[in-house]
Amino acid sequence: MRFVVILFVVVILLVLATMAGILAFDAPQAPPAMASVEHAFDRVDLRQAPAIRHFTARDGTSLVFRAYPGHTRETIVLVHGSSGTSVSMHPLASALNARGGTVYALGMRGHDGTGHSGDIDYIGQLDDDIVDFMKRLEPRVTGERRTLLGFSSGGGFVLRFAGGANARLFDRFILVSPQLPADSPVMRPNAGGWVAVAIPRIVVLKTLTRFGVGVFGGLHVLAFAVPPEKYNVQTPFYSFRMLENFGPRQDYLADLKNAPGRVSLLAGAEDEIFYSDRYAALLKPVRPDLRITIVPGMGHMDMTLKPAALAAIASEAFAP
């Protein structure tokens, strides 16, 4: 019996030592820069973007957004993609604003120089930030329609929000090339080369979370294909907390099914990060009224930049 106890203790110590080693040394290494992402804005003039504004979240942190006042009763809130910024949504915001919509491009916490780069304080804080932002808007006017639109990781996050407790702050949701969980059939390996994932560290952190241990949640688990010279602009790493919040929940199909109001999805036929031709077969059985548009000839970043994609998104956003 004593031998069994000793063996049990040894096994436990080995498991703990292995977990500690993974937490200490399994940091993700940034993959080589991905040309289709890093050069996407080379010919885009962002100097005309509105100046950054600020609002104060419930914890006192100053967060950023850009405002595009419109003249119709359409209000559209934009959420950028992984490692992105509020200004990265400027071409799309401008296209929507040109149709008369009032548009707000958010810089999510942990991005755009806000909070701690690539990290948040707790899982769910980004959802709370959306609620806090909406509280600063003027009360709804008669006939106003409010839309939450997200791109890539932001699209996955919008799906998460649409299935959450505060979904009715919005009347509709638009997912543009949305990220789904890593084990979904839509996901290409390592997002087509955009991201390196520290899988063992994630597994350990998920295990610890189940036991109520969240102290290591700030450790990096994702590294994006961002070159070092752009670290001051783009967010190169995500913590475990950010990974768990800025994207879809694991039960994303339930969120899609439960989302109130209209849900639309648009993606490029030539998306190099996700398999866009697999969205319909995966999601339509759960949400038959999901409106899906696949835009011919468009890659991943093209969906927020190219005229054909912007026109398709604007048509969906303003559809009756």
8 confidence band (pLDDT: 50, 70, 90): low
Supply the pTM of this predicted model: 0.95
Domains located in the chain, CATH noted: 28-317 (3.40.50.1820)
Cα dihedral across residues 280, 290, 314, 161: positive or negative: negative
**Is 176's pLDDT higher than 80?**
yes
Note the pLDDT of residue 10: 72
CA distance 264 to 2: 62
**Is 186's pLDDT higher than 70?**
yes
Mean pLDDT, residues 290-301: 98
Note the pLDDT of residue 283: 98
CA distance 163 to 72: 27
State the alpha helices, DSSP H only, in 115-229. Answer: 125-136, 153-162, 199-210
CA distance 271 to 242: 24
For 90-119, what is each residue's pLDDT tens digit?
999 999 999 999 999 999 999 999 999 999
Q: Is 176 exposed, middle or buried (0-12, 13-18, 19+ CB in 10 A)?
A: buried
The type of residue at 74 is: E
Mean pLDDT, residues 157-179: 98
* Cβ within 8 Å of residue 62, ≥6 positions away: 54, 55, 56, 114
Mean pLDDT, residues 198-205: 96
**Is 237's pLDDT higher than 80?**
yes
**Is 2's pLDDT higher than 80?**
no
For 128-145, what is each residue's pLDDT tens digit?
999 999 999 989 999 999
**Is 165's pLDDT higher than 70?**
yes
19 confidence band (pLDDT: 50, 70, 90): confident
Identify the weakest region by mean pLDDT among 7-16, 61-70, 298-307. 7-16
For 265-289, what is each residue's pLDDT tens digit?
999 999 999 999 999 999 999 999 9
Number of Cβ within 10 Å of residue 66's Cβ equals 22
CA distance 153 to 159: 10
303 confidence band (pLDDT: 50, 70, 90): very high
